[in-house]
Amino acid sequence: MNKEVWQLIEVELKTAFNIPVKALNLPGFGGEPIKSEQYDLDTVVQSVADKVNANSIVVGWSLGGLVATRLATMYPDKVAHLILVSSNTQFCEDGTWPGIKGQVLEQFKAQLAKDSKKTIERFLAIQAMGSEHAKGDIKQLKSLLFQAPEPQEGALSAGLDILQNTDLKSEFAKLRCPMNGIFGRLDALVPPAVAAEMANINPQFGYEILPQASHAPFISHRDEFINYLKSTL
């Protein structure tokens, strides 16, 4: 994934809130260089932190939600309001927490080593799975993402490792900044049931589940997405 996915909604966000809006690439995505030999959540957060102003409204989608949550923990002065989009504090299910099966991520890693482009296309298809506009959503995602350079394979593999091995529930529970989440009822990667679980461990977390949306609600349901942000900010 890269920052081009926000292209369709970036202007609307600027207009709706009359504030500067800046989309960021994670290292290894969209042409952003990888500056550290080690690629883990903390090094990604440190890379992003340099580009985030103090008292920002930070929006993180999917893997970006893990980055945003850890950013709020490591650099609380930078995050005035945390917005998580189709994200999870622990992406892998473990019997007590809703998530994606670990074997699915293992399959993606194995396929990535064989055919990265085909694996990316399959991942995009899963992100739109269930959406009533699935074909259109996939087409839009592809047209936006492929405007930027292809992601580095090392970043893709490391990103999957982060999704598979990260558990931020305890630090999410300790956050005291305003927090909100937007989820899709039809999401195949982040079960919408996790929204209530996240609110249970941190009652400051408010959320909305869009009934017809999948994993990319800011693309498939832009108006509802903007309206929810307006109601919370």
Query: Which residues are identified as catalytic?
Result: 62, 187, 215
**Both structure tokens of 216:** 């990319």
d(CA 111, CA 179): 35
Are 80 and 179 a contacting pair, CB within 8 Å?
no
Are 131 and 220 a contacting pair, CB within 8 Å?
yes
| Count of beta carbons in the 10 Å neighbourhood of residue 193 | 13
Residue 186: which H helix or E strand, with range?
none
Please, which residues bridge with residue 85 across strands?
61, 182
**Both structure tokens of 75:** 């650099």
DSSP secondary structure, 97-145, as one string: S--B-HHHHHHHHHHHHH-HHHHHHHHHHHHHTT-TTHHHHHHHHHHHH
d(CA 114, CA 42): 28
159 burial level (CB within 10 Å; 0-12, 13-18, 19+): buried
Going by the DSSP 8-state scheme, the letter that residue 177 receives in this structure is S
d(CA 66, CA 61): 8
